[in-house]
Amino acid sequence: MPKPRRRTPDPRNPRFIPGIYDYCDRWCERCEFSHRCAQFAMRSHDRPDDPRTRDLENRKFWETLGTSALTAKPALKITRSTSKKHAVSTATIEAATAHEKRLERRARMLGQRETNAALTYSHMVDEWFNNELRLPLQHVRNLERRVEKALTSVASAKGELVRLNDCVEVIRWYQAFIYVKLCRAFMSFVEEEEDGALAATRDSSGSAKVALIAIERSLAAWVAMREMFPEETDSMLEILVHLDRLRRNVRRKFPKAKSFKRPGFDDKA
């Protein structure tokens, strides 16, 4: 007999935190709040597992990595200020397009250093995994040998492997994400400069905060990897220095990012 389908969740249910998905990192598998997220519920209401259990496990995951909090805002939005103000006619569409382009140019100019650095970071990560893949593979083989010689327990070797896998996952997830979030932060910044009403929402700070969290988590993952391969740290050190510089520059450009409150994520006890 076919199983009865679960009822589609109602996004107005008070258990959902309004707008929580605006400043998350879209990594639902690792989210601590999927049971409070209407978007997640809509997408996965047929899944048999309990999101609350998974969220608790995810909280432990981030605590173990040494950083907490997570985030992101949806992909690049259409300029809200322009789309609302202009009536639909060829002339106004052209004006709106020109306006949009001007904002984009200004955003690119303002964020040139940081977005270029984020793009460079993404390439550095690819390069590292292309050139240094032997390191994790060697690490796995060493662990196998140590288990065979009873120098380490199976449980502890497994723990090491999980740790390595977690670090790689974190680095790969945020590799391009940082660039995308920074582009959004600078675009929102120029929109807010133009439109006082948008300035009140401080989307630029929220997006910058999400980018900063991604940077911090990536840093934590690289530090953990460096501890695993203490004899081969030069290439990782270069990445760490680059990321840390990017973090400082982003903090300088978005001083209010730190105090920005993301719905749900920054309300936790």
Determine phi and psi for 160, rounding to 5 degrees.
-60, -40
Helix, coil or strand: residue 158: helix
Mark the segment that binds ligand SF4 (CB under 6 A) among 23-31, 131-139, 147-155, 194-202.
23-31
DSSP 34: G
Mark the segment that binds ligand SF4 (CB under 6 A) among 29-37, 83-91, 164-172, 234-242.
29-37
The yes or no reply on residue 20 touching ligand SF4 (CB under 6 A) is yes
Mark the segment that binds ligand SF4 (CB under 6 A) among 22-30, 124-132, 143-151, 233-241.
22-30
Q: Cα 113–99–249 angle (5° rounding)?
A: 15
Work out the angle between the directed axes of helices 203-228 and 234-253 (0-180°, nearest 10). 160
For ligand SF4, give the closer residue by CB, 21 or 260: 21
The yes or no reply on residue 21 touching ligand SF4 (CB under 6 A) is yes
Q: How far is the CB of 79 from ligand SF4 (least distance, A)?
A: 23
For ligand SF4, give the closer residue by CB, 73 or 202: 73
Which residue from 204, 208, 220 is spatially nearest to 251, judged by alpha carbons?
208
Q: Which of 3, 11, 37, 258 binds ligand SF4 (CB under 6 A)?
A: 37
Residue 227 contacts residue 41 (beta carbons within 8 Å): no
Burial class (CB in 10 A: 0-12, 13-18, 19+), 243: buried
Q: Which of 28, 178, 198, 214 binds ligand SF4 (CB under 6 A)?
A: 28
Q: Write down the residue that tokens 């460096």 correspond to.
A: 226
The whole-angstrom separation of Cα 196 and Cα 193 is 7
For ligand SF4, give the closer residue by CB, 40 or 177: 40
At 45, the amino acid letter reads H
The whole-angstrom separation of Cα 28 and Cα 34 is 7
Q: How far is the CB of 122 from ligand SF4 (least distance, A)?
A: 21
Structure-block tokens of residue 267: 């309300």
For ligand SF4, give the closer residue by CB, 28 or 143: 28
**Which residues of the chain form beta strands (DSSP E)?**
none
Mark the segment that binds ligand SF4 (CB under 6 A) among 34-42, 104-112, 129-137, 138-146.
34-42
Q: How far is the CB of 180 from ligand SF4 (least distance, A)?
A: 15
For ligand SF4, give the closer residue by CB, 45 or 245: 45
For ligand SF4, give the closer residue by CB, 33 or 121: 33
The yes or no reply on residue 31 touching ligand SF4 (CB under 6 A) is yes
Q: Which of 9, 39, 124, 129 binds ligand SF4 (CB under 6 A)?
A: 39
- Total of residues contacting ligand SF4 (CB under 6 A): 12
Residue 102 contacts residue 213 (beta carbons within 8 Å): no
- CA 123 to chain CA centroid, Å, is 17
User: Which residues are near ligand SF4 by CB under 6 A?
Assistant: 20-21, 24, 26-28, 31, 33-34, 37, 39-40
